[in-house]
Amino acid sequence: MVNIILIGPPGAGKGTNAKQISNFYSIPHISTGDMFREAIKNQTPLGNLAKTYIDKGLYVPDEVTINLVKERLSCDDCKNGYLLDGFPRTLAQAEALSIIGKELNRPITHVLDIIVSEDVLINRITGRLVCKKCGAPYHIDNHKPKVEGICDLCGGELVKRVDDNADTLIERLKQYHMQTEPLINYYKNLNLVYSIDGNQELSAVFNQIKSILGEIK
């Protein structure tokens, strides 16, 4: 069984790799960013609150995010493994996750740290498009859909994320370096970290991930 965390800065390819891992290993892909975007679309109280932070490139408060993940990890479909994408992002979240993992007997087994150089990140984010309906990611140069503006998977409309603009990106990178990067050491001390070279072609990145997780399939 694998209970995975994907860590990496915005644009590292967490979403894309998460979808591949989730399909290959048949485990749920839990993205707090996707959960917040869904809540924003449905204009729920959670969505309205999250929007005020996300639009500025800031993190949603820990308490809100931790409760959301706790509820999701308790679901039955997580009993044979799960993949967290974009959570934890702060030390408080990592500590809470450790307690939740113990309570549910679903502790983290692997932390995949996707390492990408800053110029590649900026190019990926500024050229990124996502499907409005299913969230699948594309890129205007490197990962074009078969039909312009239309998702290959579900036929949904491809749009730019509101927070994928140069100003918000600077703030998101700052938040990542300040709050999330320290988690890598936290998990290194627990011997859970595997470094992934995220500058490679998508297929090479996924092959590297499979070679790490491979034997559990």
Q: Supply the minimum distance, in Å, between the C-beta of residue 163 and ligand AMP.
A: 6
Q: Which long-range contacts (CB under 8 A, 24 or more apart) does 66-69 make?
A: 66/92, 66/93, 66/96, 66/97, 66/100, 68/32, 68/35, 69/30, 69/32, 69/93, 69/97, 69/100
- Our CB check for ligand AMP shows the closer of 31 and 208 to be 31
Answer for which of 4, 13, 22, 87 binds ligand AMP (CB under 6 A) is 87
Other C-beta atoms closer than 10 Å to the C-beta of 196 total 22
Closest among 129, 28, 40, 122 to 82, alpha carbons compared: 28
Answer for which of 9, 13, 86, 137 binds ligand AMP (CB under 6 A) is 86
Answer for which of 32, 110, 111, 169 binds ligand AMP (CB under 6 A) is 32
Q: Does 33 bind ligand AMP (CB under 6 A)?
A: yes
Give me Rg for the CA atoms of the chain.
Answer: 16
- For residue 214, with 0-12 CB atoms within 10 Å meaning exposed, 13-18 middle and 19 or more buried, which class applies? exposed
Q: Supply the minimum distance, in Å, between the C-beta of residue 62 and ligand AMP.
A: 7
Distance CA 1, CA 17 (A): 18
Give the x-and-dash track for 108-147 against ligand AMP (CB under 6 A): ----------------------------------------
Q: Which positions are catalytic?
A: 14, 89, 128, 161, 172
- Our CB check for ligand AMP shows the closer of 54 and 131 to be 54
Answer for which of 59, 138, 187, 206 binds ligand AMP (CB under 6 A) is 59
Answer for which of 20, 28, 53, 195 binds ligand AMP (CB under 6 A) is 53
Cβ proximity of 73 and 30 under 8 Å: yes
Closest CB to ligand AMP: residue number: 33
| Residues near ligand AMP (CB under 6 A) | 10, 32-33, 36, 53-54, 58-60, 65, 86-87, 89, 93, 163, 172
